[in-house]
Amino acid sequence: MSDAFRKWIRDKGVSEVECLVPDMNGVLRGKVWPAQKFLQSAETGSLRLPSSVFTLTVTGDYADGDSEESFGDPDIILRPDISSLCVAPGFKTPTAFVFADAYDHAGEPWEIAPRHVLRRVLKLYEDIGWRLTIAPELEFYLTQVNSDPDLPLIPPLGRSGRSETAPQPYGLEAVTEFEDIIEDIYESAETASLHLDTMIHESGTAQLEINFNHGEPIHLCDQVMVFKRIVRQVALARGVYATFMAKPMEGQPGSAMHLHISAADIATGQNLFATKDGELTDACRHFVGGLQTLLPDVAPLFAPNVNSFRRMRPGHSAPINLQWGYDNRSCGLRVPISDPANKRIENRLPGADSNPYLAVAASLICGYIGLRDKLEPTPLVQGNAYRYPRTLPRTLDEALERFLACAPAAELLGPAFVEAFGRIKSHELSAFEGVISSWERDHLLLKV
């Protein structure tokens, strides 16, 4: 453990350290250690967790079932990523967060861990001299406390004592309705050293969006994870819920995690998506060609839940295909208006419910295959992209079938990861299919 790490712990007066390990669903797992015990354990390699944390479903079950390995459940060794260290806001005891990577006892990366999956994808780009940068835009809803999952969510009361009843996109008065919560979020985010840009009121009732400043992909995914935790804690402290479900309320827009992706030459810093005159490069076209060709086949990585597919419907501010266009938000892939140095691609497909490491890995692996195989994109479109046929799966069932059959992506993401992720999602889908919904009781109980 470095002296700088020890000094940081001492100077910040940290008493406890939460070691964060994102699982397959982007749920934070881990342990809390007294600071000195954490430092000692990190030095001796005794920071450990059961490897089964990477087979947990969103329902809390283990997807391994009765396999021989599941009964053994060997430990993984955690190595803290010191670059992710930050002060944890909102704790009575001075606490720090640090993300940790998982390794086996031979010192090899635990290949199905989401941070390793993304790191493996980034290495492919590093090997061809590319440096990738991302900037997420994350949407979420505030709702009244909902203790009964059979009841629909409703917007919370604002400062005026009233709930929103109509869309208020970019509404300044609407934002000030939740000024206390927003100020608490910004204050906590600053304490945790998050690199936030702007927050706006989105199209849904009590729906907000936060923009992150661009940066290195793993670092930005870490920031998204910490931000989600902060928002939930701040909301609860104010007596409301915050949800990152993709489609939490009927008749309202879904919540996305749009990803702005840019690429630069490692040696020169030159933007690889635009010429000096601002024209799109062949590399950009091939990158987009890869996204168009393969993103529909890896949909569970950016739309991981049954609820995710309720968001991607025409007229609900979410794409249904992979058309691309300049400054066109009906397209799955948008080219924002910018100068040549900031030319980028916005992937509008990922939901706010997705695991950020896997959503980014999916985007980048598809782009990489497009570059490698020189895939050509379709022509840029103008106007309503919803008039083009749907190319995205309609359900998680269909999406999983396509994902497990996508050999080009599986080869680069890692067969072990694809098998483990598919097993988890199949387990969750099976659990969902056993539930009888209120819609079925309402319309079928006394009619059929």
Q: Is residue 273 part of a domain?
A: yes
The last residue of a domain, from among 61, 87, 109:
109
Q: pLDDT tens, 189-226?
A: 999 999 999 999 999 999 999 999 999 999 999 999 99
CA distance 312 to 316: 7
Query: Residue 344 above 70 pLDDT?
Result: yes
Residues 225 and 91 in one domain: no
Residues 44 and 163 in one domain: no
Helix (H) or strand (E) holding 126: helix 114-127
Q: Is residue 418 part of a domain?
A: yes
Tokens of 235: 């909301």
- Residue-level pLDDT at 272: 98
Q: pLDDT tens, 142-156?
A: 999 999 988 999 999
Write out the residue range of the structural domain in which residue 244 sits: 122-441
- Residue-level pLDDT at 65: 61
Count of structural domains within the chain: 2
Q: Is residue 446 part of a domain?
A: no
Residues 137 and 88 in one domain: no
Q: pLDDT tens, 384-429?
A: 999 999 999 999 999 999 999 999 999 999 999 999 999 999 999 9
Q: Are strands 333-335 and 324-326 parallel, antiparallel or unpaired?
A: parallel
Q: Is residue 448 part of a domain?
A: no
Q: The domain spanning residue 15 has which CATH number? A: 3.10.20.70
Q: Is residue 380 part of a domain?
A: yes
Q: Is residue 196 part of a domain?
A: yes
Residues 105 and 154 in one domain: no
Q: The domain spanning residue 331 has which CATH number? A: 3.30.590.10
Q: Is residue 114 part of a domain?
A: no
What's the pTM value of the predicted model, to 2 decimals? 0.96
CA distance 114 to 24: 6
Residues 79 and 137 in one domain: no
Query: Residue 229 above 70 pLDDT?
Result: yes
Residues 129 and 56 in one domain: no
- Residue-level pLDDT at 68: 54
Tokens of 34: 């007294």
- What would the DSSP string read from start to end of 257-324? EEEEEEEEETTT--BSSB-TTSPBPHHHHHHHHHHHHHGGGGGGGTS-STTHHHH--TTTTS-SS--E
Query: Residue 14 above 90 pLDDT?
Result: yes
Q: Are the C-beta atoms of residues 384 and 321 closer than 8 Å to each other?
A: no
CA 189 to chain centre: 18
Q: Is residue 116 part of a domain?
A: no
Residues 215 and 323 in one domain: yes
The last residue of a domain, from among 85, 109, 133:
109
Helix (H) or strand (E) holding 166: none
Give 397-401 contacts, CB < 8 A, sequence gap 24+.
397/429, 399/299, 399/300, 399/303, 399/309, 400/300, 400/425, 400/426, 400/429
Question: How many helices (DSSP H) and strands (DSSP E) are in the chain?
Answer: 14, 14
Residue 379 has what DSSP assignment? P
Tell me the average pLDDT across 310-330.
Answer: 89
Backbone angles phi, psi at 59, to 5 degrees: -85, 0
Residues 66 and 210 in one domain: no
Residues 96 and 143 in one domain: no
Residues 153 and 279 in one domain: yes
Mean pLDDT of the residues in the chain: 94
DSSP strands (E only) in 304-403: 324-326, 333-335, 345-347
Q: Are strands 333-335 and 345-347 parallel, antiparallel or unpaired?
A: antiparallel
Alpha-carbon separation of residue 356 from 51, 200, 337 (angstroms): 21, 21, 25
Residues 391 and 263 in one domain: yes
Query: Residue 70 above 70 pLDDT?
Result: no
Percent of the chain with pLDDT strictly greater than 90? 86
Residues 105 and 139 in one domain: no
CA 95 to chain centre: 24
The last residue of a domain, from among 109, 131, 152:
109
